[in-house]
Structure 1
Amino acid sequence: MAGGHAGSGSGGVLALLNDTRYRGIIAQIALIIALVALGWWLVHNTIENLRSANIASGFDFLDRRSGFEISQLPIIFSSESSYGRALLIGILNTLIVSAAGVVLATILGFLVGIGRLSTNYIIRGLSTVYVETFRNIPPLLVIMFWYFGVLAVLPRPAGAIALPFGSFLSNRGLQTPTALFQTGAWATGVALLAGIGAAVLLAWYARKRQLATGQRMKVLWPSVGLIVGLPVVVFILTGLPVEFEYPTATRFNLQGGFQIKPEFLALFLALSVYTGSFIAEIVRAGILSVSHGQTEAASAVGLRRGQILRHVVVPQAFRVIIPPLTSQYLNLTKNSSLGLAVGYPDLVAVGSTVLNQTGQSVEVVAIWMVVYLTISLTVSTFMNWFNRRVKLVER
């Protein structure tokens, strides 16, 4: 009887092992245990090494005086400010150049991607040359090209190139007028937000009405009136509460206005042009994924080429475009760390300075990881939401 029980027990174990579902669960449990053990070993080993090197761990260093200056300042900062504020400057600079790069790269990518499919030989050829050139050059070289090959050879501030609207371009960057808002300017900002909200509600109502009745309601010009016209009217009624400080050329320099430094320009243009070449191919692939039957049907009902592209092709192409487009946005954000090569004070550059002064390598690297992970998850969440909003709903 005992032998029979033992045999049935071993047979039950073999049956569980032969079941792919239970075998997968056992493998996952074993993997989790191994990862936890590896993580514990790494943390323990790191703590022991820091202790043996007499390096204090923790984030108390963030409150200490930084003692260095930063060239690109979105908020107030001085050498008397803390390391924590310095890292905040780096995070803001990373977000600024990444957001600006995403906007320009998206515009370039969509224009060039559509241009690659143009029936005009010149447009198609120029678009192809742009894509094939910048896709095959490392982004660091593109940054160096803009910084040393373009911006560095511009004239000095004394001989700066005069641009429209009182702006100047020199080897020290772009000097533009800056707006000085007066009392009452807040009303224009409130009107702008109200106009955007009203335009969103109008678009929602128009879509709901179209789904219910099939009648298409024009929302473009009413939305323009709400977003642009309403703030302009409020701006005029409040007495034009803004003054502009224009840059002026002196004998050796440019004074006044707002300066966009060459480090930012080089990184911004390089990331935009480089990422735009990849987005162009994504857009081209998305458009080609739409069957010719769709375009032929749209043409048969009298739609022009631009209308077909805007109302038929692009909405269907989005389901192919958005997933890889998200990856390109994340790549652009991470590539912003290459600005260290030209002295742009992003998160990595500022963090490297903090690391060298404090020796808190583990903490600084942990901050890098958390910030980039947060940015990546935020962008991915937004793009997934947008993908759900624009995807085709079959009836």
Structure 2
Amino acid sequence: MKQPEQANTCTRSPAAPTRDAAFRPTSLVGSKTTRAWCYQILLAVLLVWFCGWLYNNVVENLQTQRITTGFGFLKQSAQFAIGETLIDYTPRDTYARAVLVGLLNTLYVTACGIVLATLLGFIAGLGRVSKNWLLVKLAEGYVELLRNVPVILQVIFWSVAIRNLPSPRAAIELGGAGYLTNRGLTFTVLQAHPGWLWAFWALLAALALNIVLSRLARRLRERQGRLLPVARLRVALIIALPLLAWWLGGAPHAIDRPELRGFNFRGGFTISPEFTALLLGIALYSSAFIAEIVRAGIQSVPKGQLEAARSLSLSPRHVIRHVIVPQAMRVMVPPLASQYVSLAKNSSIAVVVGYPELANISNTLMNQTGQALEAIAIMMVVYLIISSTTSLLMNIFNRYVAIKER
């Protein structure tokens, strides 16, 4: 019997890599990643070359005009007075101290403007979402009027309005608390005493304790579902702790009242017309945009969240505190940061009303020394630092108020 023929099985070895699949240097050169890196390196080289060319061109022009470069002039005597300062300054001080005075004035008006714009913006924003028809229309008119008028015109308007007020001899009395004149707002203040400083530090300590209590109550509510009644304790801390420090510091109560002497008031505290015009102009302008941010943030909260909160029998205060605000702040904080940065940069408009902030003093510095390049560089760096710091703080606050997913 014939045996069946065995099928011829051919075992093939693994195919050797073809020539096309082998590594070729040209494939590396022609890859998309390599081209992207080449474009970026070329752009960086061109940018460095342009900056070097621009620098050499500026240096040659300055040497042609016999203008020295560098920041050595900051050590020279300024020889000009500054009408409004937060630190001691005389014309014999250096240009560096004059720049410091301008920087502090810029920070001062920026901080006051942020606080005032935030308060007015939140009030107008809440009015925009109110159920009262008249309040809604008033808030809408406020927003539309202020945000559509250029900020520089608003600053000039307030400057002219303040200058047309009566003189100190015919001052407008504010119920015994102060006087309003074309020299500014003068009002009664407490006399300086160390006891007030102790009370201020005690207030800061009370605020820190309030934050700790608030976090403890929040943790207890999230973990055990219990509400810790800390509202009265927090109010008591804010009132009692500063009062205790004030009493231990000697209980100062002397009052510094303004009195008319000659052609102006002496004593009390006076807010200059230049500062008032600048503050009102930039704060009111920014408050209109903040009002729209607040309205958008509140309206972004889904109605189902509010209905669910009411179905749980939460009080209106708890609904606002634990439902509306956390979700609205997540929408509001990023555009608020942009408005705060814009407000800080708008403070440079002070040059049109004569308030001695950084841009105004730098302008005087350029006119006296001719160091325009250095003065502009100082302003650019300072405003960059202010804006970056404001953005950083708002980003930190944004991470704090952001809703954490579990």
Among candidates 273, 276, 290, match of residue 287 of structure 2: 276
Residue 153 of structure 1 is matched in structure 2 by: 164
CA distance in 1, matches of 2:295, 2:72: 51
Q: Tell me, what secondary structure is at the counterpart of 1:269?
A: helix
Residue 105 of structure 2 is matched in structure 1 by: 93
Q: Structure 1 residues 49-58 or 320-329, which shifts more?
A: 49-58
Cα-to-partner distance string for 1:357-378 (whole Å, 9 max, x where unaligned): 0111111111101111111111
Q: Cα–Cα, structure 1 residues 222 and 335, in superposed 2: closer, same or farther, change >3 Å?
A: same
| Contact 2:194–2:249 (CA under 8 A) maintained in structure 1 | no
Residue 316 of structure 1 is matched in structure 2 by: 327
Equivalent runs, 1:204-223 vs 2, <5 Å: 204-223=215-234
Residue 124 of structure 2 is matched in structure 1 by: 112
Equivalent runs, 1:6-155 vs 2, <5 Å: 8-14=24-30, 16=31, 19=32, 21-148=33-160, 150-155=161-166
State TM-score, norm by structure 2.
0.90
Equivalent runs, 1:362-381 vs 2, <5 Å: 362-381=373-392
CA distance in 2, matches of 1:194, 1:250: 41
Q: Structure 1 residues 348-357 or 185-194, which shifts more?
A: 185-194
| Contact 2:189–2:268 (CA under 8 A) maintained in structure 1 | yes
CA distance in 1, matches of 2:316, 2:129: 12
Post-superposition offset of 1:265: 0.6
| Contact 2:28–2:34 (CA under 8 A) maintained in structure 1 | no
Give the length in aligned residue pairs: 385
Residue 301 of structure 1 is matched in structure 2 by: 312
Q: Cα–Cα, structure 1 residues 340 and 117, in superposed 2: closer, same or farther, change >3 Å?
A: same
Q: Cα–Cα, structure 1 residues 154 and 27, in superposed 2: closer, same or farther, change >3 Å?
A: same
Percent identity, aligned pairs only, is: 43
| Contact 1:181–1:242 (CA under 8 A) maintained in structure 2 | no
Post-superposition offset of 1:165: 5.5
Q: Structure 1 residues 295-304 or 252-261, which shifts more?
A: 295-304
1:339 equivalenced with 2:339 (yes/no): no
Q: Structure 1 residues 75-84 or 181-190, which shifts more?
A: 181-190
Post-superposition offset of 1:59: 1.0
CA distance in 2, matches of 1:156, 1:329: 35
Structure with max Cα Rg:
2
Post-superposition offset of 1:23: 2.8
Q: Cα–Cα, structure 1 residues 67 and 258, in superposed 2: closer, same or farther, change >3 Å?
A: same
CA distance in 1, matches of 2:210, 2:90: 42
Cα-to-partner distance string for 1:370-394 (whole Å, 9 max, x where unaligned): 1111111111111001000000112
Q: Tell me, what secondary structure is at the counterpart of 1:259?
A: strand
Q: Structure 1 residues 43-52 or 267-276, which shifts more?
A: 43-52
Post-superposition offset of 1:218: 3.2
| Contact 2:221–2:227 (CA under 8 A) maintained in structure 1 | yes
Q: Cα–Cα, structure 1 residues 235 and 8, in superposed 2: closer, same or farther, change >3 Å?
A: closer
1:261 equivalenced with 2:272 (yes/no): yes
Q: Tell me, what secondary structure is at the counterpart of 2:254?
A: strand
Structure 2 unaligned residues grouped into runs of 5+:
1-19
Q: Tell me, what secondary structure is at the counterpart of 1:181?
A: coil
CA distance in 2, matches of 1:62, 1:28: 39
Counterpart AA for 1:244: I
Q: Tell me, what secondary structure is at the counterpart of 1:32?
A: helix
CA distance in 2, matches of 1:251, 1:129: 43
Q: Structure 1 residues 233-242 or 375-384, which shifts more?
A: 233-242
Give RMSD over aligned pairs: 2.0
Residue 14 of structure 2 is matched in structure 1 by: none
1:385 equivalenced with 2:373 (yes/no): no
1:202 equivalenced with 2:218 (yes/no): no
Post-superposition offset of 1:325: 0.6
Q: Cα–Cα, structure 1 residues 22 and 289, in superposed 2: closer, same or farther, change >3 Å?
A: farther
Post-superposition offset of 1:146: 1.0
Post-superposition offset of 1:65: 0.8
| Contact 1:185–1:242 (CA under 8 A) maintained in structure 2 | no
Post-superposition offset of 1:306: 5.1
CA distance in 2, matches of 1:281, 1:393: 26
Structure 1 unaligned residues grouped into runs of 5+:
none
CA distance in 2, matches of 1:126, 1:309: 23
Among candidates 357, 367, 389, match of residue 356 of structure 1: 367
Q: Cα–Cα, structure 1 residues 186 and 123, in superposed 2: closer, same or farther, change >3 Å?
A: closer
CA distance in 1, matches of 2:317, 2:218: 21
Bigger proportion of residues as helix: 1
CA distance in 2, matches of 1:111, 1:74: 31
Among candidates 244, 247, 250, match of residue 239 of structure 1: 250
Q: Tell me, what secondary structure is at the counterpart of 1:336?
A: helix
CA distance in 2, matches of 1:40, 1:235: 61
| Contact 1:161–1:169 (CA under 8 A) maintained in structure 2 | yes
Post-superposition offset of 1:242: 5.1
Counterpart AA for 1:120: N
Post-superposition offset of 1:12: 4.1
